[in-house]
Amino acid sequence: MIRTARVADQAPAVCQDPAVGRLDALDMSRKLKRSEQDERLHAGGRRLAQLRLHLGGLVDGGALGPPVCLLFEGWDASGKGGAIKRLVAPLDPRHVRVVSFSAPTFDEGRHHFLHRFGPALPGWGGMAVLDRSWYGRVLVERVEGFATDEQWGRAYGEINGFEATLAAEGMVLVKFWLHISAAEQLRRFERRAADPLKAWKLTAEDWRNREKRGAYQEALEDMLRLTDTPAAPWHLVEADSKRYARVKVLETTISAIEQGLRDRGHEPPPPLPPPSDD
């Protein structure tokens, strides 16, 4: 399994030097050959499918396992969609829910910012994947001024309390940040702009956000420092290589589910033997 990068315990809210942070310590040169990616995705997909059936009470006696919620955040064009696609590919579509979140609607904006995420959360035996999440409050809403200083300033504690409550009720919460360098992001933007089938993904807002990368990185470092908790740790994914990122996401998910079962007094099922070639 790939080792996951962990951020440190909580620290003062103000980022002391946003130019030198935890993301800068990541080794962005990590990559995989296509053959190794395919081999590890295949093996990991088989294990994830087995664990998903186990959690859903569909094998091994029928007892429901803890809910699993995977949360994806990352830079624009960091490959979240592709990583999610490969992650859920080996699962029956009836056994996992993928939900994408964008800007809140007018009605959603009338409520507390956590309100709209409740219906997407899985119950016991369930699994959900969130493409974007409540962390928008301390990232885009902070940087773009959609939340007041008081609102996003207290959101760190609100988020930690919310996630601690979910974990206390048994949820396995796995949080990913997909990190790409500024140079790689520009390359992907330009490739999207030149591809008629992908140009729709690139908007004027993406370019504006890129111009504010420094402000976003400062907000991001604060987010990582203040919301990495034992109940809901962050997993940082070096995503300049899409192949490496996809494998790391899958293998990290498997490890988190296995550990989540052990933490709740259940030994994960032993891995299945490789399928026969006959």
d(CA 178, CA 163): 20
Structure tokens at 190: 């330009």
Per-residue pLDDT at 212: 95
Residue showing tokens 């300049």: 240
Per-residue pLDDT at 60: 74
Per-residue pLDDT at 277: 65
Alpha helices (H) along 65-113: 80-88
Residues of the chain with pLDDT under 70: 1-20, 277-278
- For residues 239 and 79, the answer to whether their CB atoms sit within 8 Å is yes
CA distances from 13 to 108, 194, 215, 257 (A): 27, 40, 15, 31
Distance of CA 68 to the CA centre of its chain: 12
Q: Would you put residue 243 in left (φ > 0), alpha (ψ -120 to 50) or beta?
A: alpha
Structure tokens at 150: 């008081």
d(CA 95, CA 53): 8
Per-residue pLDDT at 269: 94
Domains and CATH numbers, the chain: 23-263 (3.40.50.300)
